Amino acid sequence: MRWFIPRLLTALVAVTSPAVWACDAEALAAVPEPQRVTTMHLLALRACLASPDPAVRDDFAYARFVAVMRSGEVSPDTLETLLADFVFRLSVPERGGDGFEAPFLVLVLAEIARVDRVSPYLDDKRRKLLVDAAWRYLRGVTDYRGFKDGEGWRHGVAHGADLAMQLALNPELSAEQGAQLLAAIATQVAPASGHNYVFNEPGRLARPVFFLAMNERVSAETLDTFFSALTPDAGQPLWQSPYGSEAGLAALHNTRAFAQALYVYTATSPSEQAAALKARAEALIRALP
């Protein structure tokens, strides 16, 4: 963690400026070219990810982060500072409590992870920090709001799954880290709260599982454990009468949608990995009451 403290201090010193705590989209829009964007500019832009205005949060701030991250113009030093800052922000309560900041921090972390996948710059310790953040965030999501007219997206589960997918695609991901991501995904396939997904969260959760299996980032035994955890257990109250409660129906709907998404993803691939994953998805579908 020796590298993390200096990066975090850099971010914290920067955020002593009032401009970083308040989103000033008009001022930030004055620097359009990715090659001219500084670390300070990106830390200031981060404040806009918490904006309640979807035009500012999604159409401006997130879109700007995507353009900058995919330009190839961001230095490793800046990326590491952003990583430390975003991970720290995820560990503290959100200002305002509107529920927008954390999902969009995670969505930008997915872009940071993508840069490392395409042009590796993280060492093992830094990549572990990112994996740990993905695991901690995804399994900790309790705000299941997706899209709302006038407010736009929150979509925490889907954004957490997007980060997990970028990590799943990284050839440097270890088998242990792949299992860690699967464990987090398993907690959200059928949330214990009984939430019923309606914004394609099962499809987004299925994507990192698909890539972990296809790229053999996890073992067959790990996949067996994952699917076993999702298979209905008559000993669990939720599955004793799934058609007799809203929570049971939600678990049934969510699990089926997840398994069907995986089945579709594997349908067009002739590989052995796809065939094995397809068989697991089909077995899960057949096990549902």
Confidence band (pLDDT; 50, 70, 90) for 28?
low
Confidence band (pLDDT; 50, 70, 90) for 70?
very high
Phi first, then psi: give them for residue 153, nearest 5 degrees. -90, 145
Q: Domain residues of the chain, as ranges?
A: 1-173, 190-289
Query: Which DSSP symbol is given to 53?
Result: -
209/116 Cα distance (integer angstroms): 20
Q: What is the mean pLDDT of residues 196-220?
A: 97
189/204 Cα distance (integer angstroms): 10
Entry pTM: 0.91
3-class SS shares of the chain: helix, strand, coil, % to 5: 70, 0, 30
**pLDDT higher than 70, residue 9:** no
Confidence band (pLDDT; 50, 70, 90) for 5?
low
Residue 87: the pLDDT is: 96
**pLDDT higher than 90, residue 237:** no
147/164 Cα distance (integer angstroms): 21
92/149 Cα distance (integer angstroms): 28
- Specify the range with the lowest mean pLDDT, choosing from 18-27, 33-42, 219-228: 18-27
Token pair in block for residue 80: 């590491």
Residue 97: the pLDDT is: 67
Phi first, then psi: give them for residue 147, nearest 5 degrees. -115, 140
Strand, coil or helix: what is 185?
Answer: helix
Q: What angle do helix axes 39-46 and 4-14 make, rounded to 10 degrees? A: 70
Q: What is the mean pLDDT of residues 147-151?
A: 96
Determine how many CB atoms are found less than 10 A away from the CB of residue 13.
11
